[in-house]
Amino acid sequence: MHELKYVYLRVICNKSKIVQKIVLPELADWLESAIDYYTIKDNSLKISNFLPKFDYYVGIKWKVGIIEDFPFEDIIAKAESPNDLNSNRRIWRKFSQIYEDSDSGFTEIGSKELFEKFEIPFHEYKNDHRLPWNSRAIRVLDSKILESLSSLVNHLPEVSNLYLYWEDYYRYGLEDKLFKVSTEEFLNEIRETGYDASVYLFPESKNWCLMNLEDLGFNIFAFNENINIKIESLSSIEYFNLTYESEIYRY
């Protein structure tokens, strides 16, 4: 019989609310036994370093928006001199949405179209760093990430009995790693951490797991065949197929 322990999740930022959680430490054993950052081959980490074996793995892409009619070609990518810095600032001041903390003023654009626009070879996730992020006119759309993940989780079984394993709990001053959460609480926590926390959401059956990793730039959803979900039918989700041996970090 599980020993229940009640704790309070520390406030991540001043927007968060303190929510009572139930910690069941032994429910994390299956994840902790699979997570292995030390077995690095060919300077890379694979999904097998972060997750147990499932039947399927997919990457859930983060939606991106751009400022339409922005003069990307006029931005000096490696501005160092005062003249170059001032030149960029003059352009940025013409677009007020750059200085706002919202998705407003950024138009969603598909991944392939975005790569074609900047003549960058398309890859589902490995070439994202080559996009001109320092132009400030490209932005990950926070609201669209939440929409995609909410749509996915709400189509899964056992959503009323979910657990959140917080692998890098020490970065946030947490004393515990495992919490019982609702879908809304999970979405709130990853949003408040800027989608940079390494966390795993899963039901007690362990038939699926939704993962967010530090510095990854997309989410990983692993699941077994018996949950019978058709991801392709969820129009708000842009995804790509992965395998247990897919490389996700290179050093």
Q: What is the pTM of this model?
A: 0.84
The pLDDT assigned to 24 comes to: 65
Lowest mean pLDDT among 31-45, 155-169, 218-232: 31-45
DSSP string computed for 98-149:
GGSSSSTT-EEE-HHHHHHHTT----SSTTGGGS-GGGS-EEE-HHHHHHHH
For residue 205, give both structure tokens: 């059956």
Phi, psi (5° rounding) for residue 178? -120, 130
Q: Where are the domains of the chain?
A: 5-62+143-250, 64-69+78-140
β-sheet with 138-140: strand ranges across: 107-109, 64-66, 138-140
pLDDT exceeds cutoff 90 at 2: no
Q: What is the distance, to the nearest Å, from the Cα of residue 157 to the centroid of all Cα atoms in its chain?
A: 21
- Distance in angstroms (rounded) separating the CA atoms of residues 35 and 51: 6
Distance CA(201)–CA(169), nearest Å, equals: 14
Q: Report the chain's mean pLDDT, rounded to a whole number.
A: 84
Write the DSSP symbol of residue 228: -
Give the pLDDT score at 10. 42
Helices (H), the chain: 29-32, 82-92, 111-117, 142-153, 183-192
Residue that is written with structure tokens 């996730």 in the block: 125
Task: Give the mean model confidence (pLDDT) for residues 103-126.
Answer: 90
Mean pLDDT for 100-109 is: 92
Asked if pLDDT for residue 92 goes beyond 90, the answer is: yes
Q: How confident is the model at residue 192 (pLDDT cuts 50, 70, 90)?
A: confident
